[in-house]
Amino acid sequence: MSARAARLLAVPFVLLACALRFAEDLWLQTLTWGIEPGWAGLLVAFAVLGVTLGAPLAGYLLVTRQARKRPAAWEISPDGRRFVAGSSPAGMGASAVIIGWMAGGLVPTERVPGEDQKRIAELGAFTTVMTVLAVLVLVFALWLVVGRWPWLEPDREAVTIKRLIRVTRTPWDEVPADLREIKVPGGGLHIAPKFLGFTLQTYQTDPARRDAIGTESEAARLAHDHQP
The pTM of this model reads 0.79
- Say yes or no: 201 and 188 in one domain: yes
- Say yes or no: 119 and 198 in one domain: no
- Say yes or no: 96 and 121 in one domain: yes
- Say yes or no: 142 and 205 in one domain: no
Whether residue 119 contacts residue 110, with contact meaning beta carbons closer than 8 Å, is answered with yes
Phi, psi of 196 (to 5 degrees): -60, -50
C-beta neighbour count of 14 within 10 angstroms: 26
- Say yes or no: 176 and 96 in one domain: no
What percent of the chain lies above the pLDDT cut of 70? Answer: 95
Q: Does residue 84 lie in a domain region?
A: no
- Is the confidence at residue 34, as pLDDT, over 70? no
Q: Give residue-wise pLDDT tens across range 14-26.
A: 999 999 999 988 8
- Is the confidence at residue 93, as pLDDT, over 70? yes
C-beta neighbour count of 60 within 10 angstroms: 26
Q: Does residue 13 lie in a domain region?
A: yes
**Range(s) of the domain holding residue 210:** 151-226
- Say yes or no: 41 and 98 in one domain: yes
Domain final position from 100, 128, 146? 146
- Say yes or no: 106 and 181 in one domain: no
Contacts of 152 (CB under 8 A, 6+ apart): 84, 85, 159, 160, 161, 162, 184, 185, 189, 191, 196
**Candidate from 96-100, 105-109, 188-192 with smallest mean pLDDT:** 188-192
Q: Give residue-wise pLDDT tens across range 202-220.
A: 999 899 999 999 999 999 9
Max intra-chain CA distance, the chain: 79
